[in-house]
Amino acid sequence: MRSVFEELKRRNVVRVGVAYIVVGWLVMQAAAALEPALLLPDWVDRVVAVFLMIGFPIVLIFAWAFEITPDGIKPTVKVDPTQSITKNTGKKLEHTIIGLLALALLFVGVRAYLAPDSGDVDIDGDLPASIAVLPFEDYSEEKDQDHFSKGIAEEILNLLAKTNSLRVAARTSSFAFAGSDLDIREIGDKLEVGTVLEGSIRKSGPNIRITAQLINVEDGYHLWSETYDRNYTDIFRIQDEIATSILSSLRVHLLGDAPPIETAATEQTINMEAYDHYLIGKERLSKRTAEDIAAAITKFEQSISIDPNFAPARVDLVHALLLAEWYIYGGQADVNFENEERIVPNLEKALELAPDSPETIAVSGLYQMARYKHEEAAAAFDRALALNPNYAEAYDWRSETAYQDSRFLDMLADTEKAYSLDPMSLQISANLAFQYRSFWRPKDAERVINRMFELHPGHPLAYDAALQNLTSHGRYGEALLLVDEALKSHPDLQNVKDWKAWVLLDLGLLDEAAELDNDMANAYGYAAAGRVDDLKEILDRNLNETATPEWHSFSREYYRLTNPDDLQEKLRQSVELQIAALDDQSWPWRDTCNVYLAFDLREVGRDDDVAGIMAACQERMEERVKVNYFCPCSYYKLVTYTIVDGRLDEAVKRADQWLTNGDSSYYLAADPIFSLLSDRPEYSDFLARNAAQIERQKNIYYSGKSNSPATE
């Protein structure tokens, strides 16, 4: 045996083996580093490892059987031992091994130096530890502990969310996996968290057993688990007690030396029936459809009627009532003063019962924002996030206040933060997609939208986000095909019907749009086409004492088309009525960029009111230009603003860019602002290019429609 080992050394087999191992390790590190950089599939490093393992015995056999000589490589058995140069070769191999080891040490040192400190938060908001809390499973024989299982998970989630040292997936995303057959590692990957807390509850007579376990997403192994046996008396007291106990254990495994988490019990009702109504309402609210929001309102009101002092039900009732005002959920996108009588008392009572609850504070900010009090809203969101830095919806809502302040990069940062915390939220996903398309990032918008469809197949919000992205970039033909697809799933959904009406009008298909009975869309189309009688018929139906501000602007379109003798007086009266309607809604129109209102105010001699609007436009447009926050749809607004501002040479350049970007407008030839360029030689060319692009989109629609499967 000793002679064999000596022969291995003499033939440099050991040295070759060591050199191969070091080189192999360096190759593996290079493969791991280049895989993401070159967008290689994740199996590449595994394939490299397999080939290196296969090569190891081959290299050793080669080193044993062959030898390097001055005349080249020869079989060892044919080399005269007295003529062998293995000693010299061995020394060279030793020097090579030393060099390779030094390179490996340098690699390790550089990687350690460049690696982020585990205690720091990076600029993207990623935290060193992250967790999703899944709703606990109910293993009771009666299956009657669903309220308790969700309650304890939510309590733990809410308490964990109060620390900056941990990124906590939001309830919407975590609870979406209730009863899922997905592997924990798949769930962790979808939620982009490193750990998952799951558990179970089993009630038997007067006793209840709660089991909780913390799982590492990367390898699926349990980091910690514990079982708690308690007497089933006051389940909310038990819930708080167990949550606090679990938190103490989790802190050791996730947060290390981070400060302790405040574990004061949340405000909860002791009435089980009220709590059940509340939980059902919360589930319905998360689904984000008009029907689900209406059902959630009913459940919250039932909860409050049973227990008037249950603050969370009042908070979520206010939230649901505010959502119901949104156009996409069946509202009019205006202040609903009938709702006001329900919202204000519930909000005031919630603030009285739970003044320091992040949810109460954030929803009060949502109310302020809905009433155009953006400074007060921003302050409320800041306070809520100070109390709960993992509050996804508060980030999403705060992004709107940043938009109102023209802080577009802050707006995007808040929405991306919200998305990282709650990637399965339909509303947050829709907002992020909307912002990406406005930042001229349609591919990023498509990525978010595709994930919406993947997680929530056929959901109206996913269709809405996709249609926003397509139409904002002038892709009306594709948008109309998608609307037809959406109508197959949602034939009675008004929002989808309205989308079809508007996109048909974008393509100048007025008669097809008229069949959908959308008066606002049809008024736009008839004004653009100069169909005076049709426009008057619609105005006669809608211009009354309760008319929304938009109808008064359409009345001015009618007057310009008919050109009566007292045109200026009629325009002035129409403007006065619109201003009164805006004031009734507390809309801050003097400080809002509304280019067409500014144009009309100037036309009727109200120049003093124009200054504030144009100042708001200047601030907003200049900031948008700086950060490239312009999709083609927004770019046309930049064109009209530049015209009203009197910079016609610049407006011509911007109009050319708008059309080059691929957008078009059926209204262009009738637009009173754009007509101010009619003396320019480029004007007729603009109209011709616009018409050609509309025709191109029509062809895309008709071609796609003819190639699609026949519908019943």
Residues 6+ apart with CB under 8 A from 536: 558
pLDDT over threshold 60, residue 259: no
- Beta partners for residue 204, in sequence order: 207
- What's the rounded mean pLDDT across residues 9-28? 71
Say if CB 169 and CB 131 are below 8 A apart: yes
Single out the residue of 449, 492, 497 nearest to residue 472, CA to CA: 449
Q: What would the pLDDT profile of 679-694 be if each residue is shown by its tens digit?
A: 999 999 999 999 999 9
- What's the rounded mean pLDDT across residues 207-227? 85
DSSP, residue by residue, 635-675: HHHHHHHHHHTT-HHHHHHHHHHHHHTT---TTGGG-TTGG
Residues 6+ apart with CB under 8 A from 514: 522, 525
DSSP, residue by residue, 424-444: T-HHHHHHHHHHHHHTT-HHH
588, with CB counted inside 10 A (0-12, 13-18, 19+), is: middle
pLDDT over threshold 50, residue 99: yes
> In degrees to the nearest 10, what's the CA dihedral of 459, 463, 469, 471?
-160
pLDDT at 223: 82
Say if CB 310 and CB 349 are below 8 A apart: no
| Strongest mean pLDDT among 112-126, 149-163, 263-277 | 149-163
pLDDT at 124: 38
**pLDDT band (50, 70, 90) for residue 39:** very low
pLDDT over threshold 70, residue 194: yes
Residues 6+ apart with CB under 8 A from 243: 152, 155, 156, 159, 263
Give the position of tokens 């500014």.
598
Q: What would the pLDDT profile of 586-610 be if each residue is shown by its tens digit?
A: 888 898 899 999 999 999 999 989 9
- What's the rounded mean pLDDT across residues 394-409? 93
Across 36-40, 177-181, 187-191, 440-444, least confident range? 36-40
Q: How many residues are listed for the chain in this entry?
A: 712
pLDDT over threshold 70, residue 80: no
pLDDT over threshold 50, residue 117: no
Handedness of CA 322, 325, 328, 330 (dihedral sign): positive
- Beta partners for residue 197, in sequence order: 133, 214
Q: Which two tokens stand for residue 16?
A: 């070759």
pLDDT over threshold 60, residue 113: no
Degrees (nearest 5) of the Cα angle 30, 31, 33? Answer: 65
- Beta partners for residue 229, in sequence order: 209
User: 670 or 58: which carries more pLDDT confidence?
Assistant: 670
| Strongest mean pLDDT among 331-340, 527-536, 618-627 | 527-536
User: 693 or 267: which carries more pLDDT confidence?
Assistant: 693
- What's the rounded mean pLDDT across residues 389-394? 93
CATH 3.40.50.10610 in the chain: give the residue spans. 130-255
pLDDT over threshold 60, residue 322: yes
DSSP state of 255: I
Degrees (nearest 5) of the Cα angle 138, 141, 142? Answer: 85
**pLDDT band (50, 70, 90) for residue 90:** low
Report the C-alpha gap between 582 and 584 in whole angstroms: 5
Report the C-alpha gap between 606 and 586 in whole angstroms: 20
Residues 6+ apart with CB under 8 A from 657: 635
pLDDT over threshold 90, residue 349: yes
pLDDT over threshold 70, residue 413: yes
Q: What would the pLDDT profile of 538-583 be if each residue is shown by its tens digit?
A: 999 999 888 888 899 999 999 999 999 999 999 999 999 999 999 8
Report the C-alpha gap between 217 and 153 in whole angstroms: 18
| Strongest mean pLDDT among 1-10, 337-346, 368-377 | 368-377
Say if CB 635 and CB 658 are below 8 A apart: yes
Residues 6+ apart with CB under 8 A from 234: 270
pLDDT at 163: 75
Report the C-alpha gap between 700 and 322 in whole angstroms: 39
Degrees (nearest 5) of the Cα angle 336, 337, 341? Answer: 120
Residue 223 parent element (H or E): strand 222-231
pLDDT over threshold 70, residue 40: no
Q: Which two tokens stand for residue 577?
A: 């009525």
Report the C-alpha gap between 461 and 438 in whole angstroms: 18
DSSP state of 230: E
| Strongest mean pLDDT among 61-70, 135-144, 423-432, 687-696 | 687-696
Residues 6+ apart with CB under 8 A from 32: 45
Report the C-alpha gap between 145 and 276 in whole angstroms: 10
**pLDDT band (50, 70, 90) for residue 89:** low
Q: Which two tokens stand for residue 25?
A: 């390790």
Neighbours of 640 (CB within 10 A): 22
Q: What would the pLDDT profile of 478-524 be if each residue is shown by its tens digit?
A: 999 999 999 999 998 888 999 999 999 999 999 999 999 899 999 99
pLDDT at 87: 64
pLDDT at 506: 92
Backbone angles phi, psi at 194, to 5 degrees: -90, -25
CATH class of 130-255: alpha beta
pLDDT at 279: 84
Q: Which two tokens stand for residue 631?
A: 């999709």
Q: What would the pLDDT profile of 377-386 be if each residue is shown by its tens digit?
A: 999 999 999 9
The alpha helices in 202-289, defined as continuous H runs, are 235-250, 272-286
